[in-house]
Amino acid sequence: MGCVFCRIVAGELPAARVLETEHALAFRDLHPQAPTHLLVIPKEHVDAVADLGDDQAELAGRLLLACRDAARAVGLDSYRVVTNTGADAGQSVFHLHLHVLGGRPLGWPPG
C-alpha cells in the first residue's frame, strides 16, 4: 500500500492520533503550520474533494463533524478548516484530508 495516510489508518505508520471514529481519523500534522494543526481523513481512500462521488455525501458530512469533534478534543474553539485539492492548491498527499488549524490569529486570504 503506497498511500502514507492509508498506512497511518492501518497502523503501519505512527501518528499522534487525537480522534478516531468508524469512518474518520484525526491526527497531528507532522509539519504544523500553527500551534495546533490537525489532519482529519476518511479511513476509506479518496484522493481529494474533486474525487468525492455523489454517493459519498454522508462521508463528506462525517468528515466535517470529525473536524468539529477533533477541535473540541484538543480544546480549540476558534480554528480554520481547509482542504487543498490538486497540486496547484498545495496538495502534497493524495488522500483526502481536512486541515484544522488554530492556536494563533490566522490571516485571510490565505496565500
Measured CA to CA, the distance from residue 24 to residue 109 in angstroms comes to 28
Q: What are the Cα distances from residue 40, in Å, to 71, 81, 97?
A: 10, 10, 5
- Whichever of 58 and 111 has its CB closer to ligand DGP, that residue is 111
Among 22, 54, 77, 92, binds ligand DGP (CB under 6 A): 92
The answer for residues whose C-beta is within 8 angstroms of residue 65's C-beta and 6 or more apart is none
Nearest-CA neighbor of 81 among 59, 100, 108? 100
Place of cell 487543498: 84
Segment lying near ligand DGP (by CB under 6 A), choices 17-25, 55-63, 64-72, 86-94? 86-94
The answer for residues whose C-beta is within 8 angstroms of residue 47's C-beta and 6 or more apart is 94, 95, 96
Nearest distance from C-beta of residue 52 to ligand DGP, angstroms: 16
Among 9, 15, 25, 46, binds ligand DGP (CB under 6 A): 15
Q: Is 23 a catalytic site residue?
A: no
- Whichever of 17 and 23 has its CB closer to ligand DGP, that residue is 17
Among 29, 47, 52, 103, binds ligand DGP (CB under 6 A): 29
- Whichever of 6 and 59 has its CB closer to ligand DGP, that residue is 6
Active site residues: 97
